[in-house]
């Protein structure tokens, strides 16, 4: 009986160790698939890291966006590249691409090729339509 209990205990420990395997630490860049799943149909707000300025971005399920920072509000479009970059195109500023990663309370976005970093601290999911009145201003 004792041998059977030890065998079951050892089997359970081995199964737990095998299923644990290497796990992501949680701060790796988001993959293209994760970005697509998590960034369409979302309203985010937070701070621009370098300046501390508040910003807000709403992204509809089809990719239409509304962005606000300071007195600047613009409508544009977001697309996710196969390389896992979220690229935002606005009429006044052109296209800017970002790598993203999960962070405490939200996401961190880093401009590809240098530039600003954005910390999204508030995330609302399930957004269908973006309206200017829903932004932070």
What would the pLDDT profile of 58-111 be if each residue is shown by its tens digit? 999 999 999 999 888 999 999 999 999 999 999 988 999 999 999 988 999 999
Check which CATH number belongs to the domain holding 45 and give it. Answer: 2.40.128.640
Per the structure, the count of domains in the chain is: 1
- Single pTM value for the model: 0.77
Asked if residue 3 belongs to a domain, the reply is no
Cβ(21)–Cβ(95) below 8 Å: no
Asked if residue 4 belongs to a domain, the reply is no
From the list 101, 79, 53, the residue with the least C-alpha distance to 109 is 101
């Amino acid at each position: 009986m004792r041998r059977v209990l030890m065998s079951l205990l050892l089997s359970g420990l081995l199964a737990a160790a095998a299923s644990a395997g290497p796990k992501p630490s949680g701060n790796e860049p988001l993959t293209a698939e994760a970005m697509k799943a998590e960034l369409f149909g979302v309203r985010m707000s937070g701070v621009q890291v370098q300046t501390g300025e508040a910003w807000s971005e709403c992204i509809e399920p089809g990719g239409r966006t509304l962005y606000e920072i300071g007195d600047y509000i613009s409508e544009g479009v977001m697309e996710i590249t196969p390389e896992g970059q979220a690229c935002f195109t606005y009429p006044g500023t052109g296209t800017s691409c970002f790598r993203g990663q999960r962070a405490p309370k939200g996401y961190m976005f880093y401009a590809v090729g240098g530039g600003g970093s954005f910390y999204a601290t508030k995330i609302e999911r399930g957004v269908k339509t973006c309206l200017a009145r829903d932004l932070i201003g």
